[in-house]
Amino acid sequence: MALTLSEANRIVQAAITKAQEMNIKVSAAVCDAGGRLMAFNRMDGAIWGSVYGSQGKAIASAAFGRASGELTERAGTPIIQGIVAAEGGHMIPSMGAVPIIRNGVVEGACGVGGGTSQQDEDVAKAAVAKL
């Protein structure tokens, strides 16, 4: 089963709710397994760069089927840089996104931007857990 729009919107709302609990302002993005945006929201007062950060981290997480933070150490390697370039440069291999995996299949990812890297990932994890 593929991730639905309703599910993607639920994840984004859960991310916003978690960010409010943490007293931070973020953008949250959910992409499908192919890295295409399905749902997005930017909280009032969130920095404008969080728009791109949240989406780029979600794309990286979906592409590799793991938390985007696991890619940070290898982000400068030729293989990661080659994939980023081939994808069009939208992918950000940095902490703050987690994949959405059901029955062993990557269905997408949730990326968050606007807090610290750890806060972003904590929000993304909490949001996906609500699915």
Residues of the chain above pLDDT 70, percent: 100
- What beta strand segments (E) does the chain contain? 27-32, 37-42, 97-102, 105-113
pLDDT of 1 above 80: no
CA distances from 102 to 47, 65, 107, 114, 115 (A): 32, 11, 7, 27, 27
Q: Which domains occur in the chain, in start order?
A: 5-129 (3.30.450.150)
User: What pTM did the predictor assign?
Assistant: 0.95
Reported as a single tens digit per residue, the pLDDT across 56-89 is 999 999 999 999 999 989 999 999 999 999 999 9
Q: How far apart are CA 106 and CA 117, in angstroms?
A: 22
CA distances from 89 to 19, 24, 30, 56 (A): 27, 27, 18, 9
